Chain A
Amino acid sequence: MLAYVARRLIQTALILLGISFVTFILLYLVPADPARQIAGRSATAATVANIREQLGLNLPFYEQYLRYLGGLLNGDLGRSYLQKTEVSTLIASRLPASLLLMAGAIFCELVLGLTMGVVAALKRGSRTDDTLMIASFVGVSAPQFVIGILLLYVFAVKLGWFPIGGYGTFAHLILPSITLGFLGAGWYSRMMRSSLVEVLRQDYIRTARATGTSRARVLFGHALPNAILPIIAMIGIDIGLFMSGIVVVESVFGWPGIGQLAWQAIQRVDIPIIMGVTLVSACAIVLGNLVADLITPLIDPRIKLR
């Protein structure tokens, strides 16, 4: 087990190194000259050259990259070109909001997805089943900004039940969580349905029923714990989906997380922020997968880590 974790951690470090290299190359190739951008349009060529030198942009590519890596090892993500602040400060100030939103989204997708899946599996073939599966299909395919704006319009503007975007109270959290969780809920309901249908066909379920155990007890005591296993492993992978989802959802709802930060930075080609957010999200995704892999054998003894 320990050897496995150690091996995975080394792999993780290598993956992150690779991601940092690829992102750095891509951003290096972007045809925007940060020095010119900082210098403004009234600057002379000498001013631009001076700024380029101060930022180290005149150095060859590999040297710039090594400098960046050196900074990373000291926890220094660089300074934003446009916001004129440490990237780590910007990310740290926004990370709690993103984590909160993700927690809300995980809660929503589990509650919605599992409920829909269980009901559909129990009513297999009925009209309820069809309706729920169509809903899950919509959840999987509808773009998140459409769902977000729709929810915002109906429940915040028309009905006035929730605030129109923003951050701060529990009420602010609900609509963005549902929007972000809706995609996962679609997947989970389908997985839960097929997994539960599978389990309900098993001999031990029939045996349990034959012993006179109540329907509810069979469902909650025997069927669900087995059916839910594949889903738990999915939550870790979800973090990757969330990382792309928050860019959209945070922008629609004015949620001050790192997704919004990334979106603004991309529009203004603020390279240090784009780099920083990419690396932080990559870390989250890789670690999420690792945690998911470590948890699975704890809940399913059939799976062994090698």
Chain B
Amino acid sequence: MRKLLLAGVAAAALSASPAFAQDIKQGGSMTVTYKDDVSTLDPAIGYDWQNWSMIKSLFDGLMDYVPGTTELRPEIAESYEISDDGTLFTFKLRDGVKFHNGRDLTADDVKYSIERTVNPKTQSPGAGFFGSIKGFEEASAGNADGLSGISVVDDHTIKFELSRPDATFLHVLALNFAHVVPKEEVEKHGADFGKHPVGSGAFKLAEWTLGQRLVFERFEDYWNKGVPKLDQIVFEVGQEPVVALLRLQNGEVDVPGDGIPPAKFIEVKNDPKFKDVIIQGGQLHTGYVTMNVKMAPFDKVEVRKAVNMAINKDRILRIINGRAVAANQPLPPSMPGYAKDYQGYAYDPEAAKALLAEAGLGDGFETELYVMNTDPQPRIAQAIQQDLKAIGINAAIKSLAQANVIAAGGEEDQAPMIWSGGMAWIADFPDPSNFYGPILGCDGAVTGGWNWAWYCNEDLDAMATQADSMVDPAKAGEREAKWRDIYLKVMEDAPWAPIFNEERFTIRSERIGGDDKLFVDPVHIPVHYDEVYAKDVQ
């Protein structure tokens, strides 16, 4: 039996939601500012939070998310089928999808684009995501021209053959790295394609004055009529966040892309003027302290649990002005699979001391806490240091440049503890598996890896593989439960002390409208450019 999912289902869900009502008029303009230049708008290359959502507006892929949510839906695909064993994905493309240069988008373009990302000459940071497609090893080593697992059936049908069942594959196809580019434009501009992006997205690039501004204009022939809501978005770069905030108050800026500057946060947050224009939302982020399970005394689970109980997270939240919520597990609350009812290790220094005594370390011990050297990270580390001191652990703070901390974490015997602030994991896509492999799985516990706790639990790895082979969408709930289980089991071994999940605070001008969810979209940062609208043209 083959399962068929029609785009109609998602479309119905979409129009049923009042937030995205169809009666919003298109038109108007929005001004967004950024401090840094936009680096590149090439979907195979761009991998920072600033260009991520800009690229999403210029390019489309087979899959996407329902705006404001983490729910998958087909984008330029009309429908897809997944074989029972979860290794064969077949997509039917929509009719009438056009590139900005006027050409029709076909299945060949989809194949070309993914093969381009995997090709080592492209130097894409996203190549590794396509590891489950057959032929990946050869292609990524540069020994094959393309991926043998991708075949074009006809202009509107494309088939992916995987070397293993992969429940995250639809998420992978929603990544920018799988967005579709027209071959002729890529060849025309060569290495400068990222400065002359041509896609099939809701907006097209109309102007790019290096170091000054970019203008996105509505793509008239976009397949999804009614999207985007705005006629134009102007991105002004090189603007300090403090200056952007002043200009927002002056009505010159609609969305300061870098958010509220930390120094101004309390002032702005408590200002009644801004009450209705600040939107708060979760991020797919967790900040944590890793404890290297290969270094004594952190090889003892009691010691790791004691550290979990010793840290006063509320005080740390005050240090960062409440821009986060306390965490008790690896997954952030906005991630599917988060265990809502889990209590975690409560703050209890007495119980922590008792645990240390149980481990034969009643007199405490000396250790080191690595931290990145930019504010507020050292201050957070000091708070942790004081908390540990209270139960007898003397942790010396090693405050280093980001690259050095990452390098130390990637060595088996160097960093006993690391506070992850400033380097913490932010998910690439909203799926629980994305928080496991590189940072908690055995694959990441290698030299130069990101599993700084060097935690490797074969049983959990096996469970993770099982969970990720549950491709059937009907079993999504079961899969989520399995992942929840995995993370709770991780917490029993306590290789991390989860500290907090950062929150996002987006500030916008009065004249830009849209459901609050669009301003804290989990995938589009700072706002969902295609969906927000101008109130002055309504």
Q: Which residues of A contact B (CB under 8 A)?
A: 30-33, 38-47, 50-51, 54, 79, 82-85, 89-90, 93-94, 97, 149, 152-153, 156-157, 164-167, 250-257, 260-261, 264, 267-269
Contact = CB atoms under 8 A, between A and B. Distances in A.
Contacts of B35: 264
Interface string B191-225: 11011000000000000011110000000000000
A156 to B, nearest CB: 8
Interface stretch (B246-254, B295-303, B482-490): B246-254
Given A84-B39, A84-B191, A254-B239, A33 B403 contact: yes
A40 B39 CA distance: 15
Interface of B: 35-37, 39-40, 42, 45, 47, 120-121, 123, 125-129, 140-142, 191-192, 194-195, 209-212, 236-240, 242-243, 246-247, 249-250, 252, 401, 403-404, 407, 428, 438, 448, 450
A165 B246 CA distance: 10
Nearest to A30: B403
Given A46-B140, A94-B211, A149-B242, A41 B40 contact: no
Contacts of B407: 31
Given A94-B210, A157-B246, A165-B247, A252 B404 contact: no
B435 to A, nearest CB: 13
A108 B462 CA distance: 70
A44 B130 CA distance: 12
A167 B448 CA distance: 44
Contacts of A89: 210
Contacts of B121: 54
Contacts of A32: 401, 403
Contacts of A253: 243
Nearest to B38: A83
B39 A42 contact: no
A254 B240 contact: yes
B40 A83 contact: yes
B126 A31 contact: no
Contacts, number: 119
Contact of B212 (A83, A167, A252): A167
Contact of A84 (B36, B194, B403): B194
Contacts of B129: 42
A157 B244 CA distance: 12
B128 A31 contact: no
Contacts of A39: 123, 125
Contacts of B47: 40
A198 to B, nearest CB: 43
A264 B258 CA distance: 14
A257 B211 CA distance: 8
A82 B39 contact: yes
B39 A83 contact: yes
Q: Which of A253, A255, A256 has the most CB of B within 10 A?
A: A256
Contacts of B237: 256
Contact of B211 (A41, A252, A256): A256
B123 A164 contact: no
Contact of B438 (A31, A42, A254): A42
A274 to B, nearest CB: 14
Contacts of A84: 39-40, 42, 45, 191-192, 194-195
Given A83-B39, A260-B238, A47 B127 contact: yes
A149 B194 CA distance: 34
Contact of B195 (A41, A47, A85, A256): A85
A85 B42 CA distance: 12
Contacts of B140: 44, 46-47
